[in-house]
Structure 1
């Protein structure tokens, strides 16, 4: 997997670089409009993230040719695909439900693609056998889909997509149909196969962990447009919308910075260690919040707000408290701490956060 450097990005945008994906996907359907730019170099794995209805699946269907473009362009390795029918595109697709042919064996499912591309039956089956062996499924070549586990079916679907040697691989929620235990194992295998893939891969997922593990670059789509893109670490550290903040598990606020102080639109004030001037974001994890039933005396925390517990829920091995008041926020604490504080909906609390545990950056 490779990062898309500025030179490659600029060359692709100018249309002077022959390899990779250069797309501006404009799709208008009813009252919805998608307008998203996607640029990727060979070897890149790009994850499309976003809430339901944001346009992720529409973008994937447009790349596959299943949904026509209303505008923009789609170029792959320098060739325009805008008017190319789906079956003629060098594109492989792994659907959410895999869509394996139930009447064909795993071997013949994988051989289907090469056969459609003109390979003889013997040649296609030989290629399929090699792909199944690569996927660790050589012993399941004669098995039909209904007798495969979810993880095995996912690998057969991936092998079927890769057997045509696509220049663009599209994966629609590739792990969504798996149980939690199988998902962990299959995710590791999928990461290995994507790392070996020499062309462009684009995956749609609702799971931030899948995106962080599998992708080199994240593209976040909301209301039909790209709101943020970058490496997983950059997105996790610098969320720019509430959706992204929730995705990576951070409290996020926007205001105006004056030195170490950021004044929020709602009137609250946050003290940070960074020195900024102008529009700024401030983020901090729920674990950085300390709760008190009485106003703390002598606390070293620079940030202090009076709040009220709006709700409590189990979050992993901790309790997550949703708070309203001077500053709406979420806080994570142990079950023991929650019991000692006698937390319940409607309980008044004081919330503190040390300046050193916040992170401020330009908006």
Structure 2
């Protein structure tokens, strides 16, 4: 691992205890709900929050004894923190100048990086003259200008509107692919994480609850937070070979397992009926509608019953079924639409 760290930060009402390893050239995304410890971890790596215990080693060298300014780290903050009184070129050259690089050389480095991120023509502009996407690219160029061995990104796309975010996300992925150091990205946006990261580390209450490649985490969530993040219904129960028993309901699955297991299925796989359907599907139960809301182009129906689930249906289906909150209906999901795996 290029980065090998155990980050322990103890506060009166919260403890972060996170073991983190990142290979050279790898992008690792820290995901988690608000208050999980993501930003605390990033600030601890940067030297902005002191460790209560643990260590930080980068390419075999201990970093934790060093002050923030002595660590070979580049950081992109959520609000970018560009110096308003400096030009774009001077902002990017600032880091090398602080490292003692001669002014002319620092400016050459800055110009090369601005060209790489497609902003060479904005070198003389002030930050207030930039769009959000341009400011994000300047912040990235400034972080790379110090030739870091570790790049830290704190919600780097959060300040952008949806249209700009789509374009900048793709550009950022290309820039990160060119960086040969370790990268740690903090985000609350699952799409940012899925597109930008090689590996996800999910934190809840200051500890890792799941980690792995994005596709694996999305396919096999292990907590309610991760399931909501990737848009799945998730239940834990006991598998008996035929399915997974969750409370009093046996959910038949396409996998044959025994013992503690998770069962997951997308909200779009849940079918709703006003009356008991003919043929009685194998996974069928009565439920009460707890709420109905718009969800993208569809409608999300919150159901309570033997299992609490979300069902996504079209607005036309909602009108056809004439569904309202408080109503009792039938719900089903095909065994082929479920996915079971060991808990």
Counterpart position of 2:339: 359
What is the rounded CA distance, in whole Å, between the counterparts of 1:71 and 1:327 in structure 2?
42
Does residue 290 of the first structure (1) align with residue 271 of the second (2)? yes
What is the rounded CA distance, in whole Å, between the counterparts of 1:228 and 1:67 in structure 2?
24
Does residue 248 of the first structure (1) align with residue 238 of the second (2)? no
Q: Offset at 1:267?
A: 2.3
Q: RMSD between aligned alpha carbons?
A: 0.7
Q: Offset at 1:277?
A: 0.8
Counterpart position of 1:318: 298
Give the gaps of 5 or more residues in structure 1. 1-11, 13-19
1:294 is paired with a residue whose SS is coil
User: Where do residues 1-363 of structure 1 align in structure 2 (5 Å cutoff)?
Assistant: 12=1, 20-264=2-246, 266-299=247-280, 301-363=281-343
Deviations 1:205-258 (A, max 9, x none): 010000000000000000000000000000000000000000000000001111
What is the rounded CA distance, in whole Å, between the counterparts of 1:107 and 1:275 in structure 2?
61
What is the rounded CA distance, in whole Å, between the counterparts of 2:163 and 2:210 in structure 1?
31
Q: What is the TM-score with the length of structure 2 in the denominator? A: 0.99
2:278 is paired with a residue whose SS is coil
Q: Offset at 1:318?
A: 0.4
What is the rounded CA distance, in whole Å, between the counterparts of 1:254 and 1:268 in structure 2?
12
What is the rounded CA distance, in whole Å, between the counterparts of 1:170 and 1:260 in structure 2?
46
What is the rounded CA distance, in whole Å, between the counterparts of 2:81 and 2:318 in structure 1?
47
Deviations 1:136-158 (A, max 9, x none): 10100000000000000000000
What is the rounded CA distance, in whole Å, between the counterparts of 1:193 and 1:312 in structure 2?
41
What is the rounded CA distance, in whole Å, between the counterparts of 2:158 and 2:105 in structure 1?
33
Q: Offset at 1:344?
A: 1.2
Deviations 1:20-54 (A, max 9, x none): 00001011012210001101110000000000000
Give the gaps of 5 or more residues in structure 2. none
What is the rounded CA distance, in whole Å, between the counterparts of 1:81 and 1:347 in structure 2?
59
Deviations 1:249-272 (A, max 9, x none): 0000001111022112x3222111
Q: Offset at 1:118?
A: 1.1
Q: Offset at 1:311?
A: 0.7
What is the rounded CA distance, in whole Å, between the counterparts of 2:20 and 2:251 in structure 1?
36
1:298 is paired with a residue whose SS is coil
2:253 is paired with a residue whose SS is strand
Q: What is the TM-score with the length of structure 1 in the denominator? A: 0.94
What is the rounded CA distance, in whole Å, between the counterparts of 2:124 and 2:324 in structure 1?
57
Counterpart position of 1:8: none
